Structure 1
Amino acid sequence: MCFCRITLAICDSDTTTVYYKITEGLVDPEPPEVTEVKKVQRFEMMRKRQMNIQGAIQSYKTAKVLDDATRDTIGTVSTD
């Protein structure tokens, strides 16, 4: 049993490219509406990931500043 998959790209002279998936025969390409929806979904997913990364960076910076401030405070406490 072979699960080979090939993607065939057919390019026209006007630079239009159509992709076909070949598994057990030729499968028609998705309509442009479906492709556009998937493109928007991918964009939203990447934007959410980027926002999560930015939030994590900000949290790290805040924690680092607080940690440094705590160390400075502990280091400057005088013992009488």
Structure 2
Amino acid sequence: MKTLKLFFKRKVNKENVYDLAKRLAEPYFDEQQIPMIGATIVDGYLYAKGEDRGFPHRSDVIKIDLSKEKIIESYGARGCPVTIYIGQYE
């Protein structure tokens, strides 16, 4: 918990979010064989999006609790409360 508080005391920049997403979300997307395209932090949760623009199109957004560093929800292609664009890490 102290780590999370210290993280938010610092200014969260693009590199920090990228590193967090790489460490916490990349293993999930590697397992699903979907490249990760972006991530954002909202209210203590990391939302990471993976997208494969092939045919058929596959997309997945996962929600990670930063205090526990665990995936708590997967939204699939629709239903995510956060919009994540390609290359967005903020």
TM over 0.5: no
Answer with 1 or 2: which has the greater Rg: 1
Task: Write 1 or 2 for the structure with the bigger share of helix.
Answer: 1
Task: Write 1 or 2 for the structure with the bigger share of strand.
Answer: 2
| TM-score of the superposed pair, with normalisation by structure 1 | 0.30
| TM-score of the superposed pair, with normalisation by structure 2 | 0.27
